[in-house]
Amino acid sequence: MPHQEDNGPPLFTYAMMAVFIAFFAAQFTQADLAHFYAFPWRVAHGELWRLLTCTFLHGSFMHIPLNVALFLRFAFVVDNWLGPWAALALYVVAGSSASAAQILVGAGPLGLVGASGVVYGFFGFLWVMSRRRDDAALAANPQIVQTMFGWLSSAPW
């Protein structure tokens, strides 16, 4: 089923790339970003914004390219289809719920970082919609599904 939506340039996707790069540059220069990490005890004391801001941070030079590559793959489709505001809403829901779930199952004392929960949220959304939309089926093709589930099953829970 071809789809002709065109919500203009993928503004949300471009904005998030700028945020990821800016935060990683700040991390690389060792700026104090402690207010953005999701430390379990801080979230427990009501600092709920940390559930989302921790998704802007990345743990290493290997972590950011993997997150960015998959985020771009999925976010372009979501952004084009739903528009930037709905894509942002999906980001907020996926990011904060994934962070909350990770804290509930036992986040380490160093706090949470990374957009992996967002990437999996966008992937899951597109995978479910892949039977209805060609662009979703291309983004969440069988090879990507295998890769995503392979990485998920190898996570050190």
- Spell out the domains of the chain, with CATH numbers in brackets: 11-151 (1.20.1540.10)
105-128 pLDDT, tens digit per residue, is 876 666 677 888 999 999 999 999
The H or E element containing residue 112 is none
Q: Report the distance separating Cα 35 and Cα 43, nearest Å.
A: 11
- The pLDDT, as a whole number, for residue 39 is 82
Tens-digit pLDDT profile for residues 3-49: 556 667 799 999 999 999 999 999 889 889 888 988 888 888 999 99
Asked if 62 contacts 105 with a C-beta cutoff of 8 angstroms, the reply is: no
Q: How confident is the model at residue 151 (pLDDT cuts 50, 70, 90)?
A: confident
**Residue 84 clears pLDDT 80, i.e. is over it:** yes
Q: What is the pTM of this model?
A: 0.87
